[in-house]
Amino acid sequence: MIEEGSKRGKAMVEKRQLFMEMRAQNFDVIRLSTYRTACKLRFVQKRCNLHLVDVWNMIEAFRDNGLNTLDHTAEINVSRLETILSSIYYQLNKRLPTTHQINVEQSIGLLLNFMVATYDSEGHGKLTVFSMKSMLATMCGGKIVDKLRYVFSQISDSSGVMVFAKFDQFLREVLKLPTAVFEGPSFGYTEHSVRTCFPQQKKILLNTFLDVLMADPPPQCLVWLPLMHRLANVENVFHPVECSYCRSESMMGFRYRCQQCHGYQLCQSCFWRGHANGPHSNQHQMKEHSSWKSPAKKLSHAISKSLGCVPIGEPPHPVFPEQAERPQDQPHTIVLESPSRLDEEHRLIARYAARLAAEAGNSTQCPPTDLSFNFDANKQQRQLIAELENKNREILQEIQRLRLEHEQASQPTPEKAQHNPTLLAELRLLRHRKDELERRMSALQESRRELMVQLEGLMRLLKVGEDEEQKQAAQTGGSPHSSPSHGAGCSMPMPIRSTSAGSTPTHTPQDCLAGVGGDVLEAFAQGVPRNLRNDLLVAADSITNTMSSLVKELHSVDDAAEEEESHMRNGGGRDAE
């Protein structure tokens, strides 16, 4: 009995922990309920580490835990809910780098207690499947359009038309979130909530559903939902202008410009708290800005817009086919959109790796006694090495070009910048970005060296195999060309991939590894037909991963260099908006 009482006491403390931490943030000083609600829910999202779980990963977790086979009205107990949350967070830690691992047990406890307090206030110890799906799909990370598409797949019929009763149930569940953070009077559920979203009952398809819920402004009962996503996007946005109230020389997050007072701007902290001075009044209309553009950039954008180069009134979401979509948590219906398409180098290596894998599969079925078959495989492998070396030379040239651009971009700015606080703030930001760019360049060179280590390992592998094959041929008195596939070629040690810059061999040059290519070509020039399928499969797979990371890093450096060059061109003429 004593142990059970201590467990209950601990559970009560954990249940109150998240709410006590939220109260300590003093969000209630925010005068507008929409911003107040969005800030509170964003705090809960980040404190429970839900912002790290993409909506597609959440849908996959629903399917892996069998929730797609249950009816929406089915109930699950708290114990099974804890198991589902555990699988979500443990899978998240597998995707995160080792330096950014989260405290899984703490995240499970905080989220579990918040969900129970939100959806089981009467203490039955059970939640419906639809309650859990609605909450997790709303509070996880990802794009709002993807979340709304998933919600629509859950509340529409087989013909792709929204069922009003199901949408009403969704509003009941999702509006319990503002109530849980003590904003129920502003955004609690009412019987008229559905009609405020769709005033006229009609046939609601997917695109109409997205148009309404992603409109500007959205329905009043859900106005906090897109704002919560905008908050996530501007948390690290920098505005190099001065706040007209607190006189802070720079702003982070949102920036608000008065539509009546010329040049009057407020940071988000002052605007949220209702601060005003001078001729400005809280009754004036304010425009929210999520980014900062220099006057020169604004002028060029206005000219392009007037000439018809910039589209006006772009839709808030892509237009999707009107045919019915199956529920997105059903098997074989999730299509995870890759953040970037495979580059040419990655596709090339992947194609060769797949070919080697196919050849390895065929070798288990019939002995490779045909010498011409082995010779063709070796020829393809030599072509692969030659193409990789060509790509390496191109990467070296690109790195040199970027280095020259960085040196040009770091030239001193005009002297008038020394007397302008706005330009001084911009210069500090550019220095920070330049340091970050140099770190990326260093990481790019480390990735290139890892690629060269892989090529050297492949070369040594081939040379060792040739020596062993020649020894075996000398002992048996036969020709090395007639050695069977289960000889020395299958007993070679596999190459080990370098996992850090510290594991790079000391004989590898730091700035140029051009000599490796010649050795590799020389190793392949003998043209000895042999069976290296398994070994080269491992090496090709390792090179595939290395080249993929290298290409991504190179693209990241290109984007950062273009951004810095644009800032430097506009830096001399920038003034506070």
Please check the confidence at residue 354 and state whether its pLDDT lies above 70. no
Tokens of 439: 């770190």
Q: From its phi and psi, is residue 142 left (phi > 0), alpha (psi between -120 and 50) or beta? A: left
> In the predicted model, what is the mean pLDDT of the chain?
75
* 3-state SS assignment for residue 486: coil
Q: Which of these, 445, 339, 431, lies nearest to 402 by C-alpha position? A: 445
Overall size of the chain counted in residues: 577
330-357 burial, b at 16+ Cβ within 10 Å, e below that, comes to eeeeeeeeeeeeeeebbebbbebbebbe
CA distances from 396 to 66, 342, 392, 565 (A): 50, 21, 6, 21
- Please tell me the predicted confidence (pLDDT) of residue 165: 94
Which amino acid is present at 332?
H
Please check the confidence at residue 314 and state whether its pLDDT lies above 80. no
Q: Which of 21-30, 285-294, 299-308 has the lowest mean pLDDT?
A: 299-308
Read off the pLDDT of residues 232-268 as tens digits, 9 standing for 90 and up.
Answer: 999 888 898 999 999 988 788 999 999 999 989 999 9
What is the signed CA dihedral for 499, 503, 505, 508, rounded to 10 degrees? 70
CA angle (112 as vertex; 80, 34 as ends), nearest 5: 135
* Strand duo 255-258 + 286-289: pairing: antiparallel
Helices and strands of the chain, counted as H and E runs: 20, 7
CA distance 402 to 369: 50
Q: Please tell me which residue, 384 or 372, carries the higher pLDDT value.
A: 384
- Please tell me the predicted confidence (pLDDT) of residue 246: 92
Cis previous bond, 217, omega within 30: yes
Please check the confidence at residue 364 and state whether its pLDDT lies above 70. no
Q: Which of these, 290, 232, 193, lies nearest to 44 by C-alpha position? A: 232
Q: Which of these, 340, 332, 339, 317, lies nearest to 152 by C-alpha position? A: 317
Q: Are 251 and 239 in contact (CB under 8 A)?
A: yes
Please check the confidence at residue 217 and state whether its pLDDT lies above 70. yes
Please check the confidence at residue 305 and state whether its pLDDT lies above 50. yes
* Strand duo 255-258 + 265-267: pairing: antiparallel
Which amino acid is present at 308?
G
What is the DSSP secondary structure assignment for residue 323, as one 8-state letter? S
CA distances from 456 to 453, 463, 470, 519, 522 (A): 5, 11, 21, 8, 12
Read off the pLDDT of residues 390-428 as tens digits, 9 standing for 90 and up.
Answer: 777 788 888 888 877 777 766 655 554 455 667 677 777
Residues 6+ apart with CB under 8 A from 110: 14, 17, 18, 47, 48
Q: Please tell me which residue, 35 or 374, carries the higher pLDDT value.
A: 35
- Please tell me the predicted confidence (pLDDT) of residue 60: 94
Residues 6+ apart with CB under 8 A from 365: none
Residues 6+ apart with CB under 8 A from 320: 149, 206, 207, 210
Please check the confidence at residue 434 and state whether its pLDDT lies above 80. no
Please check the confidence at residue 219 and state whether its pLDDT lies above 60. yes
Please check the confidence at residue 32 and state whether its pLDDT lies above 70. yes
Tokens of 128: 């419906």
- Please tell me the predicted confidence (pLDDT) of residue 540: 59
